[in-house]
Amino acid sequence: MALQAVRESGALLLLLLLVVLASYSVSTVHGETVQITGLGTVNGSETTTARTQQRVLQFLNIPYAEAPIGPRRFRAPVAIGPWVGVKDVSIEGRPCPQLGITDLLPPLEQTRSENEDCLSLSVFTKNVTERRPVMVYIHGGSFTGGRAADYPPNYLLERDIVLVVLQYRLGALGFLSTMTDVIPGNVAMLDMLMALQWVQDHVSVFGGDPSRVTVFGQSAGSAAISALLYSPLVPPTAFRQAILQSGGSTSAWAVDPNPVDNAREVARFAGCNPAQPIEDVERCLLELPVVMLLRAVQAHTLDRMQDQGHNNVGGSGMVVGGPTNFLPASPFNLLRTGQVRKDVRLMAGVTKHDGSFMMTGIYDSLNAVGLIENRAFNQFDLIDTVNRILGIDENSGTLAGFEVDSLFSQEELASGNFTRLMNGLIDIAGAIVIKAALLRDVQAIAQHSSEPAYLYTFDYRGQHTRFGYGLPTAHYPFSGGVHHSDDNIYLFPYPADVTNLNAADTAMSETMLDLWTSFAINGVPSSSRGIPTWPRVTGPAGPYLHINNPATVGTNFYDEYVISVHTPSAANVLSIVRTP
């Protein structure tokens, strides 16, 4: 009897334990554990919003494609299959291979093929039972850097949206092309398409509405979204709205014009024999340790930038044609023949001094060979040299002539003083690298789409800046002004040294959150925080919104091409040239 009592007592305890566990399991279904239909179960973690401490569920590294390793390196992604058990997605995912991260791993870790297993996305939501608008972020980084972990949700999830941040293959792994099925090129763009299809198929279990998806991105991420507007491979259901921040696909740096020659050059820098048949070159590239491949692309890029300019760099730009046919023609040729999405609502803009980030590398390169102080070079050759590096090698002198007339006084040019020419050079860089290409996309939507386009320039200069991206900047005779990616300071709490916003910057962040999320929620960017009604674009150059304190409406976006030199109000713009 005593033994029977012990058995019954043990059975009762086991039953109670199962009840407790079942109760815990039910509670976590609506908390950190989610069943993804057709794939499996994921277990996430929690964070809170930055200002009101609302609870946010985060699922940080959900795979959307099989590992692109071994023979799958360089090839189109393969959709992830179902898994057994609960997949832990509570911590940040592995970034895609890139210099500054992968090459800093211990030597043995660098050689692991698992480093290339990085095709994941992160989902952030406050309520898995709702159907809220979805914002999908595509990160920038010159198509060679970046990771989902750099774009946390703690600002944007103050509003009622679901945020998805995706990772895609970078550099040679995503863009190198021999124009064959072995290394077709544009596989990073196919990664993005697969991730967007994953959103359509699965975001509803996280509380997102797949019929209300807005894609947004900055710099290279913006250029990628721009290309999605022109590619025939993008289904109309992938997204309904897009936000472009400082990037367009018609920029010289976005497309590789000579992919096969450039692939051979990358192979040469990697120690392969570029003169061999292409099959042998491909075999060598497939077998290279990933860090060696990354360094080869870097060496090729530096070499081409010096001698031929941005428009001749390979291994980190989209290709036209090829086996994937993601772009059947160049983005500009697709644009001017009206082959652009006709049903996309667009919001797009730049930062005021969007070219200052390019001038750091140009300054360092010219300074290294003693040309910064060369008066004759600065008088006669500097502008053409800067144009060439930025991607426009114009032989007649027409472009340089218009630039001189618009941006430099005769006294400045005659001085041969690099610092005195800096404002104009930053405007040249901003227009060539960022502003002109983005305006092309806005014009295409304004002309061909049935939906409106909204255009802006981000003019607010706050306490923090991303000028230098963490590297020393004191030796430059200029500041970054309202620098490339400074707008993201107010949308994402990253990096750590720019997350402590003062009162004015916090107010600007709240305004930015209003504008970005209202566009995602109802298609019209608006804010009650001192923002005037934002008119849609009705002509080739505007109107457009100056995001600043106070905000104003401009009429001619071409004024932004000369904004460092010709400012509408000296009191409204701080000089970006430092006193020698």
Q: What global pTM score does this model have?
A: 0.92
Q: What is d(CA 24, CA 50) in angstroms, rounded to the nearest whole number?
A: 28
> Tens digits of per-residue pLDDT, 100-124?
999 888 887 888 888 999 999 999 9
Angle at 468 (CA atoms; ends 464, 470), nearest 5 degrees: 75
Pairing outcome for strands 86-88 and 55-63: unpaired
pLDDT at 23 (0 to 100): 31
Pick the more confident residue, 148 or 306: 148
pLDDT at 399 (0 to 100): 94
At 210, which helix (H) or strand (E)? strand 208-218
Q: What is d(CA 441, CA 313) in angstroms, rounded to the nearest whole number?
A: 23
* Phi/psi at 347 (5° precision): -130, 130
Q: By the 8 A CB rule, do 378 and 417 touch?
A: yes
Q: Is 165 helix (H, G, I), strand (E, B) or coil?
A: strand
Q: What is d(CA 255, CA 328) in angstroms, rounded to the nearest whole number?
A: 13
pLDDT at 578 (0 to 100): 66
pLDDT at 114 (0 to 100): 86
> Tens digits of per-residue pLDDT, 320-354?
999 999 999 999 999 999 999 999 999 999 999 99
Q: By the 8 A CB rule, do 337 and 232 touch?
A: no
Describe the chain by its helix, strand, coil percentages, rounded to 5: 40, 15, 45
User: Could you tell me what percent of the chain has a pLDDT over 90?
Assistant: 86
Comparing 15-19, 91-95, 270-274, the range with the smallest average pLDDT is 15-19
Please return the burial class of 301, using the count of CB atoms within 10 Å of its CB with bins 0-12, 13-18 and 19+.
buried
> Tens digits of per-residue pLDDT, 21-44?
333 322 233 348 999 999 999 999
Would you list the DSSP string of 256-299? Answer: -S-HHHHHHHHHHHTT--TTS-HHHHHHHHHHS-HHHHHHHHHH
pLDDT at 304 (0 to 100): 86
Just list the catalytic residues.
219
State the angle between helix axes of 290-307 and 356-368 in degrees (0 to 180), rounded to the nearest 10. Answer: 80
